[in-house]
Structure 1
């Protein structure tokens, strides 16, 4: 049996995770094209942005809007870069691909993706699926006794989705979406800092780094709020974030607590981060704080499980998988557990699995799926596509 090369592409709206199924870990690159103020002649595709010396005031061209792929010209540039000589060096004729797409994707977008992968890139076979399917596939395969039921919280760049599975099949009627993701958190943090301290509305890249470096999810919101009101050394939450100037300081950093004075040293520019540290991630649990009239992620999960048959519910609660970049926020899984525990029936056990790297978990699941009998059942070959067209894709792919 000849094992063919398989590319796994977890094509998120924020970052694309790409690599061969035999790789240890994927290449993670921003799924966008970037232009910089100081380099007018060049555009930066994906992780080429690391070559840019001055990352202030970047201009983004994003292929995804509100979670759906709408700008094909930009996306094709990113894919060309991923598959080309600078990244994976893919030989399309002898390569399979597993690629993720958004939940309940529009049929016009699905057909356009089919055409690009089969006709333009001419992959040997294609499997399109969702990132939550790959996450639960990895979860099921790694357990000695595979669970009948599992539920995946996929909280990413544009949205957070709660997706229940039964015997590997998605329970589509019970999928819930919360319109809050990492993009909303970053944009809200930009507005708060701009209103309180310093105009940073054009500094998306820098403020996203601030969010990743400083923010955390509070397990005791009211108590942390009281601490944040205190002055001087009694306030153990406030931190000084030193902004990059791109001559001496290439990347911003957080001063340790003992050096947090609220005063800038010579030539430095700082942002004082106080209750913003935990009030911004709180939007994931209470989106109504910024006028998004929806349930938070924990409440949505409890509601999604409540729509399932009674006998499935205890199994769902004991097999919860957290994936997506927002799970990297310190305290996220502890807070999620506490909120679900407070809303779920008392006699149900709750078990939450947080992968070591929630960002690449779906990609790891794709690597497990490649070169298995499951892949052959779920994929469409180029010969089948040429004979049956889009109909075979819509029948075979479960998205």
Structure 2
């Protein structure tokens, strides 16, 4: 007897955001932080969606995450988050009647696989389990769309903990070709915290607020030297300057951008660089470089009693980590080189196909101009005979979950699962052989 679609729970258990819903649905029911947090003024821990509540003051909140560097290392915290999601948000009463499609990270060690299986079968009592990886699900979803990749694609997943460039062929991730950068959304947020704390206010304990500021204000530079010059200008001439206001706990409990129109002035910058840059240089010569002095004076006059901070070059230097980590003192290849290495690890017959079917997913790909910059970096590294085509997912945060929903509603899904009875009879390690990664 086949399972009904509504009995399959699809869980994309990300390091930053957890996405959960039912197989066959268009969108997940819950997209919540995969963590618990405790505000300084309270002894109570807030779990998942409670951190998103309108009345929740996340200033100085202490966070505990179940996932570190992409892997589930704290099952106790994960149990709290899952319990909240399954019982309160998905409103599931008898999990033994449900199957779980769980998205796990690539190269998950056997000991951590066993911990996840114990949570699924012993703590929550799911009837059956299927495990999938994010690149194969992204490919599955995009292949189901009009003009999507039919056979193979290169999925670039810029997630919370790290970034993967993963070749996928016929819905199977080619593990031997996967290349990883130890950089993701968490590292970018931490870098922004350091920059702001060094230049104006100490925000090292404001993870959720700085995460929000990063998402609202950061963008990818198409001309780094030009934007660095612009960021040194003073006053109204600096079109990159913007202000983020921290909560005061009285009139507002959430951080916000003071002037969104001001923050988006950079979008009017032309893509061409030569004329604009030379014009800028001549202006700076006329002023005698006064902009640099003004900028230094401005920073010395920062009022530390104010609950706000100003961003200029931080806005593009933070995403720059993904493209040129060496410039920021990190001994890693940039994203474009990572992609080329992943493609070159595959059979030469696949090279043109993969370069023509690059799919971007993950929250860090949402930075404005991300795809344009990546294409500019890639083009000189790829043979002229090959086309480079980059596809941005409609919603890169939900792309993996949507692929999971599609898989969970397929006729083959039931045969892909391991049941609770099988787990109890032969154990985690032997059950896991059913999954290809």
Give yes or no for TM over 0.5: yes
Secondary structure (helix, strand or coil) at the match of 1:84 reads helix
Greater alpha carbon shift after TM alignment, 24-33 vs 312-321: 24-33
Greater alpha carbon shift after TM alignment, 381-390 vs 124-133: 381-390
Please tell me whether residue 306 in structure 1 is matched to residue 350 in structure 2: no
Name 1:219's counterpart in structure 2. 222
Name 1:276's counterpart in structure 2. 314
Correspondent of 2:238 among 235, 238, 247 = 235
Query: C-alpha distance in 1, partners of 2:230/2:206?
Result: 29
1:145-160 → structure 2 map (5 Å cutoff): 147-160=150-163
Query: C-alpha distance in 2, partners of 1:232/1:2?
Result: 63
Correspondent of 1:49 among 48, 51, 61 = 51
Name 2:21's counterpart in structure 1. 19
Name 2:181's counterpart in structure 1. 178
Unpaired runs of at least 5, structure 1: none
Query: C-alpha distance in 1, partners of 2:255/2:427?
Result: 50
Name 1:82's counterpart in structure 2. 85
Seen in structure 2, the aligned counterparts of structure 1 residues 159 and 259 have a Cα distance that, compared at 3 Å, is closer
Query: C-alpha distance in 1, partners of 2:146/2:436?
Result: 23
Unpaired runs of at least 5, structure 2: 264-294
Question: TM (normalized to structure 2)?
Answer: 0.86
Query: C-alpha distance in 1, partners of 2:228/2:153?
Result: 35
1:1-399 → structure 2 map (5 Å cutoff): 3-4=4-5, 5-26=7-28, 27-40=30-43, 42-51=44-53, 52-143=55-146, 147-256=150-259, 269-399=307-437
Secondary structure (helix, strand or coil) at the match of 1:60 reads strand
Secondary structure (helix, strand or coil) at the match of 1:241 reads strand
- Give yes or no for contact 2:26–2:405 (8 Å, CA) kept in 1: no
- Give yes or no for contact 1:236–1:257 (8 Å, CA) kept in 2: no
Provide, for residues 24-52 of structure 1, a one-character-per-residue CA deviation record: whole Å limited to 9, x for no partner.
32211111110111122x11011111345
Deviation at 1:324, TM superposition (A): 0.6
Seen in structure 2, the aligned counterparts of structure 1 residues 239 and 6 have a Cα distance that, compared at 3 Å, is same
Greater alpha carbon shift after TM alignment, 178-187 vs 298-307: 298-307
Secondary structure (helix, strand or coil) at the match of 1:99 reads strand
Seen in structure 2, the aligned counterparts of structure 1 residues 86 and 173 have a Cα distance that, compared at 3 Å, is closer
Provide, for residues 75-95 of structure 1, a one-character-per-residue CA deviation record: whole Å limited to 9, x for no partner.
111111111134432531221
**CA RMSD in angstroms, aligned pairs only:** 2.2
* Deviation beyond 4 Å, 4+ runs, structure 1: 143-146, 257-265
- Give yes or no for contact 1:63–1:70 (8 Å, CA) kept in 2: yes
Question: TM (normalized to structure 1)?
Answer: 0.93
- Give yes or no for contact 1:147–1:319 (8 Å, CA) kept in 2: no
Secondary structure (helix, strand or coil) at the match of 1:373 reads coil
- Give yes or no for contact 1:264–1:270 (8 Å, CA) kept in 2: no
